[in-house]
Protein backbone atom coordinates (compact mmCIF):
# COMPACT_ATOMS: atom_id res chain seq x y z
CA UNK A 1 0.00 0.00 0.00
CA UNK A 2 2.73 2.53 0.85
CA UNK A 3 4.41 1.78 -2.48
CA UNK A 4 1.12 2.30 -4.30
CA UNK A 5 0.60 5.66 -2.56
CA UNK A 6 4.16 6.67 -3.39
CA UNK A 7 3.62 5.66 -7.03
CA UNK A 8 0.43 7.69 -7.28
CA UNK A 9 2.19 10.68 -5.71
CA UNK A 10 5.09 10.44 -8.16
CA UNK A 11 2.69 10.15 -11.09
CA UNK A 12 0.78 13.23 -9.96
CA UNK A 13 4.04 15.10 -9.40
CA UNK A 14 5.25 14.16 -12.89
CA UNK A 15 1.93 15.24 -14.44
CA UNK A 16 2.09 18.54 -12.58
CA UNK A 17 5.67 19.06 -13.75
CA UNK A 18 4.73 18.30 -17.36
CA UNK A 19 1.76 20.64 -17.09
CA UNK A 20 3.95 23.41 -15.69
CA UNK A 21 6.51 22.91 -18.46
CA UNK A 22 3.79 23.02 -21.10
CA UNK A 23 2.30 26.17 -19.56
CA UNK A 24 5.71 27.83 -19.54
CA UNK A 25 6.26 26.91 -23.16
CA UNK A 26 2.85 28.28 -24.18
CA UNK A 27 3.51 31.48 -22.22
CA UNK A 28 6.92 31.84 -23.88
CA UNK A 29 5.34 31.41 -27.31
CA UNK A 30 2.59 33.90 -26.47
CA UNK A 31 5.08 36.53 -25.38
CA UNK A 32 7.44 36.04 -28.31
CA UNK A 33 5.27 35.34 -31.35
CA UNK A 34 5.10 39.07 -32.14
CA UNK A 35 8.88 39.32 -31.66
CA UNK A 36 9.23 36.45 -34.10
CA UNK A 37 7.24 38.40 -36.69
CA UNK A 38 9.49 41.42 -36.10
CA UNK A 39 12.54 39.22 -36.61
CA UNK A 40 11.02 37.86 -39.82
CA UNK A 41 10.44 41.45 -40.95
CA UNK A 42 14.08 42.30 -40.19
CA UNK A 43 15.32 39.22 -42.06
CA UNK A 44 13.18 40.25 -45.05
CA UNK A 45 14.74 43.71 -44.86
CA UNK A 46 18.30 42.39 -44.64
CA UNK A 47 17.61 40.00 -47.52
CA UNK A 48 16.25 42.93 -49.52
CA UNK A 49 19.45 44.88 -48.82
CA UNK A 50 21.57 41.99 -50.08
CA UNK A 51 19.42 41.64 -53.20
CA UNK A 52 19.79 45.35 -53.97
CA UNK A 53 23.55 45.23 -53.44
CA UNK A 54 23.66 42.41 -55.99
CA UNK A 55 21.47 44.29 -58.46
CA UNK A 56 18.44 42.04 -57.92
CA UNK A 57 16.02 44.91 -57.36
CA UNK A 58 13.00 42.89 -58.50
CA UNK A 59 13.50 40.41 -55.65
CA UNK A 60 14.21 43.28 -53.29
CA UNK A 61 10.81 44.79 -54.09
CA UNK A 62 9.01 41.51 -53.35
CA UNK A 63 10.79 41.26 -49.99
CA UNK A 64 9.73 44.80 -49.10
CA UNK A 65 6.09 43.90 -49.76
CA UNK A 66 6.49 40.80 -47.57
CA UNK A 67 7.95 43.02 -44.83
CA UNK A 68 4.97 45.36 -45.18
CA UNK A 69 2.54 42.49 -44.51
CA UNK A 70 4.65 41.17 -41.62
CA UNK A 71 4.73 44.58 -39.98
CA UNK A 72 0.94 44.92 -40.07
CA UNK A 73 0.57 41.45 -38.54
CA UNK A 74 3.21 42.09 -35.88
CA UNK A 75 1.38 44.89 -34.09
CA UNK A 76 -1.98 43.15 -34.29
CA UNK A 77 -0.61 39.92 -32.80
CA UNK A 78 1.16 41.77 -29.98
CA UNK A 79 -2.00 43.62 -28.99
CA UNK A 80 -4.32 40.63 -29.30
CA UNK A 81 -2.04 38.43 -27.16
CA UNK A 82 -1.30 41.27 -24.73
CA UNK A 83 2.39 40.71 -25.41
CA UNK A 84 3.52 44.32 -25.89
CA UNK A 85 6.85 45.07 -24.22
CA UNK A 86 9.69 47.59 -24.34
CA UNK A 87 11.95 44.98 -25.93
CA UNK A 88 9.32 44.15 -28.55
CA UNK A 89 8.85 47.84 -29.38
CA UNK A 90 12.60 48.34 -29.84
CA UNK A 91 12.87 45.22 -31.98
CA UNK A 92 9.95 46.35 -34.12
CA UNK A 93 11.48 49.81 -34.61
CA UNK A 94 14.84 48.30 -35.59
CA UNK A 95 13.13 45.94 -38.03
CA UNK A 96 11.15 48.84 -39.51
CA UNK A 97 14.29 50.95 -39.89
CA UNK A 98 16.09 48.06 -41.60
CA UNK A 99 13.27 47.15 -43.99
CA UNK A 100 11.48 50.42 -44.61
CA UNK A 101 14.52 52.66 -44.24
CA UNK A 102 17.77 51.11 -45.44
CA UNK A 103 16.35 48.44 -47.76
CA UNK A 104 13.81 50.81 -49.33
CA UNK A 105 16.43 53.53 -49.87
CA UNK A 106 18.65 51.06 -51.76
CA UNK A 107 15.70 50.34 -54.06
CA UNK A 108 16.27 53.88 -55.40
CA UNK A 109 19.46 52.58 -57.03
CA UNK A 110 21.78 55.44 -56.01
CA UNK A 111 24.58 55.84 -58.54
CA UNK A 112 25.85 59.41 -58.22
CA UNK A 113 26.09 62.13 -55.59
CA UNK A 114 22.52 63.41 -56.02
CA UNK A 115 21.09 59.90 -55.98
CA UNK A 116 23.09 59.16 -52.85
CA UNK A 117 21.82 62.30 -51.15
CA UNK A 118 18.25 61.30 -51.96
CA UNK A 119 18.81 57.84 -50.47
CA UNK A 120 20.33 59.40 -47.34
CA UNK A 121 17.43 61.83 -47.07
CA UNK A 122 14.98 58.93 -47.33
CA UNK A 123 16.75 56.99 -44.55
CA UNK A 124 16.84 60.09 -42.33
CA UNK A 125 13.13 60.69 -42.95
CA UNK A 126 12.35 57.15 -41.77
CA UNK A 127 14.65 57.62 -38.76
CA UNK A 128 12.93 60.89 -37.87
CA UNK A 129 9.49 59.36 -38.31
CA UNK A 130 10.27 56.39 -36.07
CA UNK A 131 12.15 58.22 -33.32
CA UNK A 132 10.70 61.70 -32.93
CA UNK A 133 7.12 61.79 -34.18
CA UNK A 134 4.93 60.83 -31.24
CA UNK A 135 1.37 61.99 -31.72
CA UNK A 136 0.33 61.95 -28.07
CA UNK A 137 -3.08 60.75 -29.26
CA UNK A 138 -3.98 57.06 -28.91
CA UNK A 139 -4.15 55.11 -32.18
CA UNK A 140 -2.95 58.08 -34.20
CA UNK A 141 0.37 58.72 -35.95
CA UNK A 142 2.16 61.95 -36.80
CA UNK A 143 3.49 61.71 -40.30
CA UNK A 144 2.99 58.89 -42.78
CA UNK A 145 3.95 55.45 -41.35
CA UNK A 146 7.04 54.35 -43.27
CA UNK A 147 5.71 50.85 -44.19
CA UNK A 148 3.13 52.46 -46.50
CA UNK A 149 5.77 54.62 -48.17
CA UNK A 150 7.91 51.52 -48.71
CA UNK A 151 4.97 49.56 -50.12
CA UNK A 152 4.21 52.36 -52.57
CA UNK A 153 7.83 52.50 -53.77
CA UNK A 154 8.08 48.72 -54.11
CA UNK A 155 4.80 48.63 -56.04
CA UNK A 156 5.99 51.47 -58.26
CA UNK A 157 9.20 49.59 -59.03
CA UNK A 158 7.38 46.39 -59.97
CA UNK A 159 4.75 48.18 -62.06
CA UNK A 160 7.17 50.40 -64.00
CA UNK A 161 9.96 47.86 -64.38
CA UNK A 162 12.28 49.91 -62.20
CA UNK A 163 11.86 53.34 -63.80
CA UNK A 164 14.40 55.33 -61.76
CA UNK A 165 12.90 58.75 -62.54
CA UNK A 166 9.45 57.76 -61.29
CA UNK A 167 10.97 56.04 -58.25
CA UNK A 168 12.93 59.15 -57.30
CA UNK A 169 9.87 61.38 -57.75
CA UNK A 170 7.77 59.03 -55.59
CA UNK A 171 10.54 58.93 -52.96
CA UNK A 172 10.61 62.74 -52.71
CA UNK A 173 6.83 62.81 -52.20
CA UNK A 174 7.04 60.04 -49.57
CA UNK A 175 9.80 61.91 -47.71
CA UNK A 176 7.51 64.94 -47.53
CA UNK A 177 4.61 62.86 -46.21
CA UNK A 178 6.80 61.15 -43.58
CA UNK A 179 8.35 64.34 -42.18
CA UNK A 180 5.11 66.31 -42.38
CA UNK A 181 3.53 66.39 -38.93
CA UNK A 182 0.00 65.84 -40.18
CA UNK A 183 -2.06 63.15 -38.47
CA UNK A 184 -2.62 59.65 -39.80
CA UNK A 185 -5.01 57.17 -38.17
CA UNK A 186 -3.94 53.82 -36.80
CA UNK A 187 -5.47 51.60 -39.50
CA UNK A 188 -5.55 48.41 -37.33
CA UNK A 189 -6.22 46.33 -40.42
CA UNK A 190 -6.49 42.99 -38.61
CA UNK A 191 -8.45 44.38 -35.65
CA UNK A 192 -11.16 46.41 -37.31
CA UNK A 193 -13.95 45.89 -39.83
CA UNK A 194 -14.18 42.71 -41.85
CA UNK A 195 -13.46 44.49 -45.14
CA UNK A 196 -10.03 45.57 -43.85
CA UNK A 197 -9.18 41.99 -42.97
CA UNK A 198 -10.29 40.99 -46.47
CA UNK A 199 -7.97 43.66 -47.90
CA UNK A 200 -5.09 42.21 -45.88
CA UNK A 201 -5.89 38.66 -46.98
CA UNK A 202 -6.04 39.89 -50.57
CA UNK A 203 -2.62 41.48 -50.11
CA UNK A 204 -1.17 38.19 -48.85
CA UNK A 205 -2.66 36.33 -51.81
CA UNK A 206 -1.45 38.97 -54.28
CA UNK A 207 2.13 39.02 -52.95
CA UNK A 208 2.49 35.25 -52.60
CA UNK A 209 0.54 33.91 -55.56
CA UNK A 210 -0.13 36.65 -58.13
CA UNK A 211 1.95 37.98 -61.05
CA UNK A 212 4.06 41.07 -60.42
CA UNK A 213 1.59 43.37 -62.22
CA UNK A 214 -1.36 42.26 -60.07
CA UNK A 215 0.58 42.44 -56.80
CA UNK A 216 2.03 45.86 -57.60
CA UNK A 217 -1.33 47.37 -58.59
CA UNK A 218 -2.98 45.91 -55.49
CA UNK A 219 -0.34 47.22 -53.07
CA UNK A 220 -0.20 50.58 -54.85
CA UNK A 221 -3.97 51.00 -54.55
CA UNK A 222 -3.90 49.92 -50.90
CA UNK A 223 -1.04 52.24 -49.94
CA UNK A 224 -2.31 55.19 -51.96
CA UNK A 225 -5.78 54.96 -50.43
CA UNK A 226 -4.24 55.18 -46.94
CA UNK A 227 -1.85 57.99 -47.90
CA UNK A 228 -4.42 60.16 -49.70
CA UNK A 229 -7.62 59.31 -47.81
CA UNK A 230 -6.44 58.28 -44.34
CA UNK A 231 -9.45 59.29 -42.28
CA UNK A 232 -12.14 59.02 -44.94
CA UNK A 233 -11.25 55.37 -45.65
CA UNK A 234 -8.89 53.94 -43.04
CA UNK A 235 -9.84 55.58 -39.76
CA UNK A 236 -10.17 52.79 -37.21
CA UNK A 237 -13.79 52.12 -36.32
CA UNK A 238 -14.00 49.13 -33.96
Tell me the per-residue pLDDT of 172-225, one tens digit each, with 9 for 90 and over. 999 999 999 888 988 788 888 899 999 999 999 999 998 989 999 999 999 999
Q: How far apart are the C-alpha atoms of 7 and 238, rounded to whole Å?
A: 54
- Percent of the chain residues past pLDDT 90, beyond the cut: 59
For residues 83-107, average pLDDT = 88
For residues 129-149, average pLDDT = 82
Q: How far is CA 115 from CA 2, 93, 118, 147, in A?
A: 83, 26, 5, 21
- How does the average pLDDT of the chain come out, rounded? 86
Nearest partner of 159 among 217, 108, 204, 222, judged by Cα:
217
Tell me the per-residue pLDDT of 8-48, one tens digit each, with 9 for 90 and over. 445 555 555 555 766 677 666 667 788 888 999 999 999 99
Do residues 87 and 32 make contact, with C-beta atoms less than 8 angstroms apart? Answer: no
Decide if pLDDT at 5 tops 50. Answer: no
Q: Tell me the backbone φ, ψ of residue 142, rounded to 5 degrees.
A: -105, 130
- Ordered domains of the chain (ranges, CATH): 4-234 (1.20.120)
- Percent of the chain residues past pLDDT 70, beyond the cut: 84
Do residues 107 and 64 make contact, with C-beta atoms less than 8 angstroms apart? Answer: yes
Model confidence at 104, pLDDT cuts 50, 70, 90, reads: very high
Predicted confidence at residue 117, as pLDDT, reads 97
Amino acid sequence: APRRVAGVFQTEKKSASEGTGRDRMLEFIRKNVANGLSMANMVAGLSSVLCSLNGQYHHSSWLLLVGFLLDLADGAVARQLDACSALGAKLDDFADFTTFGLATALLLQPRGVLDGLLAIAYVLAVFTRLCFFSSGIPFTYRGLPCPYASSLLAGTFLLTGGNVTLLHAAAVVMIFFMVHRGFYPHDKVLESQLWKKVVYAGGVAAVLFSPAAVASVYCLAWSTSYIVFPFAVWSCKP
